[in-house]
Amino acid sequence: MTTQPDEHLRYPIGRFAKPSEYTSELFAQSINTIKTLPARLRAEVIKLTDAQLNTTYRPGGWTLKQVVHHLADSHMNALMRIKLALTEEHPSIKPYDEAGWANQIDYSLPVESSLKILEGIHQHMVALYESFDEAQWNRSFLHPERGVVYTIALSAAMYAWHSNHHLAHITETMKQWDK
């Protein structure tokens, strides 16, 4: 893995690190992060003008508005992958072209629609996570393009990171403006 010249802009909270072990503290922390993301995101984006929402978080990167809509699309996929893993034996999930999706016209909608989707979806994710025993945390799916096997436990850690990762794109950009 090569560090990129704009590594700090791309990965403001660092890259995702696979947990070395799964403890109840880690689960509680991931759940808490996922539970609060929609409101923490809303508290930030509500401060932004349209012009600010249409600013990229790094040269050549997505606009802040695209970041919000991407979170909704990505976590919609997350919820589905959890349910696929619960109802099928080690399913192969359907990857999607996140760059292509971000260029569709619905990414120019006001952010409210995606904030609502996130509020709803994260409640479902959390209701599921909070009910899991060890067997359920260990159910898994295959991401066929990455060739990676994800347990639900691993994916929960990853989506918690992913929540804060993209939120940091927004808050780091806002800090630049305040200087």
Per rule CB under 8 A, is residue 119 in the interface with a second copy? yes
Distance CA 33, CA 16 (A): 15
> Residue 150: which H helix or E strand, with range?
strand 148-151
Which of 1, 17, 51, 127 contacts a second copy by CB under 8 A?
127
Task: Tell me which residue of 143, 127, 17, 57 sits closest to 92, measured CA to CA.
Answer: 143
Identify the residue among 32, 54, 90, 176 touching a second copy (CB under 8 A). Answer: 32
- The residue within the footprint of a second copy, chosen from 22, 52, 74, 83 (CB under 8 A), is 83
The answer to the question of residue 174 lying near a second copy (CB under 8 A) is no
58 is an interface residue for a second copy by CB under 8 A: no
According to the binding rule CB under 8 A, does residue 10 interact with a second copy? no
**Which residues make Cβ contacts (< 8 Å) with residue 141, sequence separation at least 6?**
81, 84, 85, 90, 91, 92, 93, 149, 150, 155
Phi-psi region of 14 (alpha: psi -120 to 50; beta: other; left: phi over 0): left
Residue 109 found at the interface with a second copy (CB under 8 A): yes
Residue placing its CB nearer to a second copy in the complex, 4 or 123: 123
CB 74 within 8 A of CB 122: no
Q: Does 120 bind a second copy (CB under 8 A)?
A: yes
Interacting residue ranges for a second copy, rule: CB under 8 A = 32, 35-36, 38-40, 42-43, 46-47, 72-73, 76-77, 79-80, 83-84, 86-88, 91, 93-94, 96-97, 100-101, 104-106, 108-110, 112-117, 119-121, 123-124, 127-128, 131
